[in-house]
């Protein structure tokens, strides 16, 4: 009997999740910190193609899923930029394109371990409208769970799906108990172009009106499924004075910070978006719209990429003031969040 508790790195967890999802092929190009996903997949004995670059990997993936192959890719930083070409085509053609984006610090090649500077790129990159699912796990169990969900959602709803992570989480080694995650049933792949048939499936449009109609149809479909896909975690938010907003492993640190702040008498809570695209807008508005919330503190390892999404999508009538804790390219520890929020000098529930 296989032990349900295993000691794995984040990259190993992802590979296990992809295998358990029924994926049979990976297209990719080595790039830190996502290289261990490619090497781990190769070592698993599954089919793969190491392409000449990320552009080739993205379009090869598009071809594979058109033929009914449940496949994926993984990349980071400059590779994510190149991957937007194939991803944009997948978005336009409604292909179940699954990708891991292991964020790294920029500009350009930058640093290779940690960042949250690929948020806007992953959510809205390419020449399209960002109709894709973007999941931001905060720990190893979530990495497994939302990888499985990404494959299922991509194939069920026919939109690209991105697991947005970073080198810290992929290289973290910890215990994961698969029994606690529970059974997840897979959505079966199917050939999108039937065998021995002639299908005219354009990805280039002669007239602007044609493209407009296709985008409108996709937008309508995306909005219909948004509530089913959108997910978040709320923690200690009931009647909170200060609402922290953070995602990924920064969100995990912010959750611990909430506990520490409450020990200091600061009534803090946390809204952690698990899906950045689509965002759980209704839950955000309900939490942030409480009369008790005086300030919303967005904590992120970038110069406002998460804040841009939150500010854009939060209900305009919410009048809480915003504060920003921004450490681009740096991991953010619990203690730093506590010190930052404590410095806002909350007195008797007022800022």
Domains in the chain: ranges and CATH = 5-229 (3.40.50.970), 232-342 (3.40.50.920)
* Average pLDDT value for residue range 142-171: 97
pLDDT of residue 1: 40
pLDDT in tens, 230-287: 999 999 999 999 999 999 999 999 999 999 999 999 999 999 999 999 999 999 999 9
Alpha carbons 346 and 351: distance in angstroms, whole number: 5
* Average pLDDT value for residue range 147-165: 98
Percent of the chain with pLDDT strictly greater than 90: 89
pLDDT of residue 327: 96
pLDDT of residue 345: 60
- Distance from first CA to last CA of the chain, Å, rounded? 56
Residue of 106, 235, 93, 253 whose CA lies nearest to 169: 253
User: Cα torsion for 82, 84, 90, 94, to the nearest 10°?
Assistant: 170
pLDDT of residue 228: 95
């Amino acid at each position: 009997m296989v032990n349900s508790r295993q000691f794995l790195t984040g990259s190993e967890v992802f590979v296990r999740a992809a295998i358990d999802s029924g994926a049979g092929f990976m297209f990719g190009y080595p790039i830190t910190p996502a290289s261990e996903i490619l090497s781990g997949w190769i070592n698993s004995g599954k089919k793969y193609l190491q392409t000449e670059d990320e552009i080739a990997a993205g379009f090869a993936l598009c071809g594979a899923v058109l033929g009914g192959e449940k496949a994926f890719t993984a990349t980071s930083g400059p590779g994510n930029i190149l991957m937007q070409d194939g991803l944009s085509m997948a978005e336009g053609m409604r292909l179940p394109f699954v990708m891991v984006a292991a964020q790294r610090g920029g500009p350009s090649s930058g640093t290779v371990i940690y960042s949250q500077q690929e948020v806007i790129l992953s959510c809205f990159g390419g020449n399209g409208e960002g109709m894709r699912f973007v999941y931001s796990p905060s720990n190893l169990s979530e990495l497994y769970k939302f990888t499985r969900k990404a494959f299922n959602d991509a194939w069920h709803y026919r939109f690209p799906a991105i697991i947005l992570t970073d080198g810290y989480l992929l290289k973290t080694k910890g215990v994961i108990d698969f029994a606690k995650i529970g059974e997840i049933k897979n959505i079966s792949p199917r050939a999108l172009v039937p065998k021995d048939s002639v299908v005219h499936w354009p990805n280039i449009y002669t007239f602007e009106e044609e493209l407009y109609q296709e985008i409108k149809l996709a937008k309508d479909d995306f909005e219909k499924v948004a509530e089913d896909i959108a997910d978040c975690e709320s923690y200690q938010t009931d009647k909170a004075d200060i609402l922290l907003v953070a995602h990924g492993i920064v969100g995990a640190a912010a959750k611990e910070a909430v506990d520490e702040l409450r020990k200091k008498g600061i009534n803090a809570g946390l809204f952690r978006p698990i899906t950045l695209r689509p965002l759980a807008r209704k839950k955000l508005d309900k939490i942030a719209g409480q009369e008790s919330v005086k300030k919303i503190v967005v904590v992120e390892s970038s110069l406002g990429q998460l804040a841009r999404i939150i500010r854009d999508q939060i209900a305009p009538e919410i009048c809480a003031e915003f504060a920003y804790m921004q450490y681009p390219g740096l991991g953010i520890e619990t203690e730093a969040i506590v010190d930052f929020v404590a410095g806002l000098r909350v007195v008797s529930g007022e800022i």
